[in-house]
Structures are given as structure tokens and as C-alpha cells.
Amino acid sequence: METGVDVNNVDNAISNEEEEENGGNAISNEDDVKLSDSPAIEEGKKITKEVQEYFVGVPESWEYIEKSKGWFIIETSKNYKFYFNKRTQEKTWKCPKEVEELLNKQNLNDDIENDNNYEQAKNSEFQNEISRDNESKNKADEEMEKIINGYKSLLIEKEINEFSKYENVLGNILYDNRFMKVPKDLRKDYFYKLIKEIKEDKQNELKMLIENFQSLLKKFENKLENLYDHKEDIIKLLKGKTEYEGNHTKQWKNTRNKLLDNYLDKLLKEKEIRLEQEFEQDLWDFLQSESAGVWFKIKNTLMKNKKYELISYEKKNKLFDIISKKILENRKHNKNQTYRKHNSNQFERHDKNQKNLFTVFLHERLKYPDVEKSLEYFLKHKYLEDKKFDEIGLISNDILNSENYKQIFLSDKEKYIIYKDFINNYINLKRERFDKLISELSINLINKSLEQVIQIIDENNKIFKAIKPKHLEQTYLNWKKKNIHEAKKIFKNFIIKSNYIKHDSDQSDKYAKLVIQLSEDVSYRRLDCVPDEREQIIKDRIKEMKKEHEKNKNIAEKLNF
């Protein structure tokens, strides 16, 4: 709309404009619609221009009605309005119907626009208020977390442990700023909660230090075996290593010394056992082939041997007495049996010896039997039936043609049964060996496949060369299950200790950053083989933090944050 007509010049402005367009038919007090038609002037009376201006005033402003066909609203200095159509030259004090409809529509649109603007402003203010509230809560949570961490640092600094009573140690921490920042009604509760956390942190840290130190000892096992009686040299070898130094605390040094002493005791005992076995075997070998008259000479020679100086004098004497007694009993027994055995018993013994001979022969000559081919044949042929053992192709020809094999006099059926037992025992022995070796592996290898684990254990491909991984799979799965269980416990302790997880960490952007942070730790990567279970552990921790957050959400008000 056009507005702002000068009060003194409005008549001239309208008149001049009308003269240009309509040949002099401008608005004035003398036009067809007179100001005397106004309700302010009595009807039918002829009045002067001065009187008209006195009652209704002079035109002051005019505005165009948008979308109308030439209508203007003209206001006087006495706040009267009349309507003028510039096209038709129509003038009236009453609002024309066309103008009234346009004005009503315009007012309605203005109301709708005002309502929309009000609603948008209201919604915007509501969102801003929510944002401010969330920001305030987050700041309160962060501030409270800093306060609690400071409280925890204070307790650690004062060396307060789980046996301390709040009332007894209050004097030592009362005036510390880190204590005074904690809300009064929470100080005691958090005291006991934090000393419990500190204890768990120390236990978890000590457990990790022990595991790392044991791994270090395992790594240097070959070198330490020869230094079992030289503790100073062992310490010199390990000193400076991160796993040895640990956290430099007095507790760790005491624990490390105990671990090292226990490890050296273990090495010493293992060494003693091996030497005792070797000493015993030497006694057997020398005494069996000699008469009892020279036994004491043999005994004295072996006892003075530096190889066996680790074995006590009493232990050597005891072993000599046991072995010499057994040899004498065997000689006496064999002598009596020579005269008492019946021919049938002699045959039975011969048959048994033949079976033992064949079993020993298989163990000595078949270091890498064709296990899969043998098992496949056993599956198809429970018994040998009419075939000859030498012709079924389970043993190579160079072994079958050896002189030792030709000295074995057993039936084909007996050979087949003994060979089946040999293969089954071979598989079981490999499983036992695999179980022993895999139990010594680090927990960090649980993401390795069965084939990779076998390659780590058997670097030269000699131990399990003749057996397929499927025969070792159950042992591998049992080991992996056990270590995954332990790895979960370690990861749970880590996410509690690290404080990476917050109550709102499940938001998409924060969760992605959280996973990146956690993935930097080995306890997270250990569980790559069970990603779903690892993710569930993280989600469970977030739920715990949400519960904790709900429990303490009144803290912000108490702290005036």
C-alpha cells in the first residue's frame, strides 16, 4: 500500500494526479460526494468549507487497496475515512462491498501469518530451552565427574585403603579442596565406593603386571633354564624391560620377587626331576649288565659325576637301593620262570612279545603315518577279511621289506588290529600334546585360526605333520572358549577403569568415537573373534551409566549448575 501523504499537500497531490489522468476531475471539498455527507454534519444543511473542515477535518493521508480496481482510502485530520475510486471517480463515505471483502481477506492473511510467526517463535524458543537444559545437564555431569575424580585422587594420595573408616580419616582430608567440592550428603557414600574402586583398580593393574611378567619369563625361558641358580644374572638380564619394571611401586617389587623366586624354584625342581630320571636310567643300564660285586663301584662313580651334583646324596642312595633291589628280584624271578614255564606258556609269552615287538616297530618306523588314509580304510573295513595286511597299502614297501619287519611272526588279522590301535593311539597322543602346547599360549592369540595356532606351535611342521587340523579342533575350541571368557572379564574391567563410556555414549556420533577410543586398547582387539558379544558388553556398560546418571541427576541442582 502507498502511504505517507503530507497533511498540508494531500488535496493538491490527489487533485494534481487526477487532473493529469482524468482531465481535472480531482478530489476536493466541492466534488460529487461532499464532506457534508459525513454523519458529523446534519443532513440537508448547506455549510461552508470552513465549517466542513471544522467537523470532518481536511484529507491527511491516502492508501491504495491492493488487488482492487482503483480504490483508495482517504483519512481526514478528524479521523474520518471516505473511499475514492480513481478509475470510476466514485466517492463514498461507506465502505464499498468490494473493498470490504478485500480488507477482510487481507486481515485474515495477516492473522494467519502472525499466528505462524508466533508458533515458529514459540517452537524455536522451546527447542532453545531444551538445548540449554541438555547443555546445562552435560556440564553438570562433566563437572561432577571431575569432582569425583579429584576425590578419588585425594584418597589415593593419602593412601587410604579398604580397611579405613570414614570417620577415622576425615581429619586428614577435611580441609582439602577436592573433598570440600563434593556435596555433603554424598561424601561418605562416595568415600566407600571410591576406595572399593581403588582396590579393584589396583587388583586389575597387578593382575595385568603379573601376566606381562610371566610372559616375559616365558619369552626368556631357554636362557633362564641355564641360569636357574644365578638369580643376580637373571635380574640383570630382565632389568630395564617394561614387563620387569612394572609400575615401580613397592607392592609390585615384592610381588615380582615372589614370582621370580617361584619361577626359579619351579625350574630347579624340573631340573632335579630330569636329572633323577637320567640317574635312574643310568643305574638300570649299568647294573643290569654287571654282576652285583661291581655295583658299588658303579654307584660311587655315578654319584661323583658333576652332572648329578644337583641331586642330594640321600636321594642318590635311595634310588640305588630301589633299583638294585628290583634288578635282583627280576633276576631271581627270571631264573625260577625258566624251569617252571610250560610249553604253552612259553608260546603265549612269545606271542605277546611278538605283538609288543610289532607295536614298538610301528612307533619307531612310522613317525608320520598316513592317518587319513588309514581311517578311511578302517571305516570301510572293520575286519581284514580275506586280504593280506602287507597288501592293503597302509605301510610303505620299504618298511615292509625291512629285516626287522620280517622277524615279526603274526597273523594278518593280528597285525591289522594292532595297526588300528596304533593309529588311534597316535591321534590321541597328538591331541594330548596339542592340548599341553596350546595351554601355554598367550591369551592375545585367541583371534588366530586353528591352522594359525598349529603353525605357531609347530614352526617346523614336525609335530602335527601327519594329522589334519580337524582332529585337534575340539581341543582348540575348548582353549578358545576358556580364553574368551577371561578376555571378556579383562575388557569389562578396562571399560570401567578407563571412564570412556558415558550415559549418553549410545548416541550415533558419540558411539562411533567411543568405539575408536576403545579399539586402541588390546583388551578390545582381543575380542575381535566375538564382536557381537563385545558390543553387548559396551551396551550393558552404557545402561549401567544411564542408571547411575538417573540416580544422581539431582546433583546439578545441589551444585547450582
- pLDDT value of residue 26: 37
Residue listed under C-alpha cell 638369580? 231
Looking at the chain, the whole-number percentage of residues with pLDDT higher than 90 is 15
- Residue 372 above 50 pLDDT? yes
Residue that wins the pLDDT comparison between 373 and 546: 546
Mind giving me the DSSP string for 124-173? HHHHHHHHHHHHHHHHHHHHHHHHHHHHHHHHHHTT--TT--HHHHHHHH
User: Does pLDDT of 13 surpass 60?
Assistant: no
Is 361 inside any structural domain?
Answer: yes
More confident residue, 54 or 203: 203
- pLDDT score for 495: 92
pLDDT tens profile 169-189: 888 887 888 988 899 888 888
Buried b (16+ CB within 10 A) or exposed e, 210-241: bbebeeebeeeeeebeebbeeeeebeeebeee
Kindly tell me if the per-residue pLDDT of 2 is higher than 50: no
Q: For residue range 235-256, list pLDDT tens digits in order.
A: 777 788 888 888 778 888 888 8
Cβ pair 371, 466 in contact under 8 A: yes
Same domain, 457 and 416: no
pLDDT band of residue 335 (cuts 50, 70, 90) is: low
372 with 345, same domain? Answer: yes
Is there a single domain that holds both residue 165 and residue 127?
Answer: yes
The domain boundary, picked from 436, 463, 480, lies at: 436
Same domain, 419 and 314: yes
Can you give the pLDDT at residue 393? 75
Query: Is position 240 within any domain?
Result: no
Who has greater pLDDT, 44 or 499?
499
Calculated CA dihedral for residues 490, 492, 496, 501, nearest 10 degrees: 130
Could you tell me the pLDDT band of residue 134, with boundaries at 50, 70 and 90? low
Residues 323 and 421 in one domain: yes
What percentage of the chain's residues is helix, strand, coil (to nearest 5)? 70, 5, 25
Q: Ranked by mean pLDDT, which of 79-93, 308-322, 347-361, 508-522 comes out on top? A: 508-522
pLDDT in tens, 465-522: 888 899 899 999 999 999 999 999 999 999 998 888 998 888 888 999 999 999 999 9
How many beta carbons lie within 10 A of that of residue 164, not counting itself? 16
Cα–Cα nearest to 70, from 85, 84, 83: 85
Are 408 and 363 members of one domain? yes
- Within this chain, do residues 542 and 457 fall inside the same structural domain, yes or no? yes
pTM of the model: 0.38
**Which one-letter DSSP state was computed for residue 294?**
G
Say if 106 falls within a structural domain: no
Q: Is the pLDDT of residue 379 over 90?
A: no
Same structural domain, 454 and 543 = yes
Cα–Cα separations (whole angstroms), residue 237 to 204, 208, 229, 232, 241 = 27, 21, 14, 9, 9
Give bridge partners of residue 62 from the DSSP assignment.
Answer: 74
CATH of the domain at 151: 1.10.10
Do both 498 and 553 map to the same domain? yes
Mean pLDDT value of segment 303-319: 78
Same domain, 184 and 317: no
Mean pLDDT of 372-395: 78
Residue-level pLDDT at 122: 64
pLDDT tens column, 413-425 = 888 888 888 888 8
pLDDT category of residue 47 using cuts at 50, 70 and 90: low
* Inside any domain, residue 258: no
Structural domain includes residue 540: yes
Indicate the residue among 178, 205, 232 that finishes a domain. Answer: 205
Domain that holds residue 514: 449-558
What is the reported pLDDT for 451?
A: 92
Reading phi first (left if > 0) and then psi (alpha if -120 to 50, else beta), residue 206 is in alpha
> Are 306 and 395 members of one domain?
yes
For residue 344, being part of any structural domain is answered with: yes
Mean pLDDT of the chain: 77
**pLDDT at residue 35 tops 50:** no
Q: Residue 203: pLDDT above 80?
A: yes
* Res. 28: pLDDT tops 60: no
pLDDT tens-place string over residues 544-561:
999 888 887 766 566 655
**Res 149: pLDDT:** 92
392: confidence class by pLDDT, cuts 50, 70, 90: confident
Chain segment 135-170, per-residue pLDDT in tens: 666 788 888 899 999 988 988 888 888 888 888 888
| Domains: count for the chain | 4
Which of the listed residues 187, 205, 223 is the one where a domain comes to its end? 205
Locus of grid cell 490527489: 14
- Residues 387 and 467 placed together within one structural domain of the fold: no
Backbone angles phi, psi at 459, to 5 degrees: -60, -35
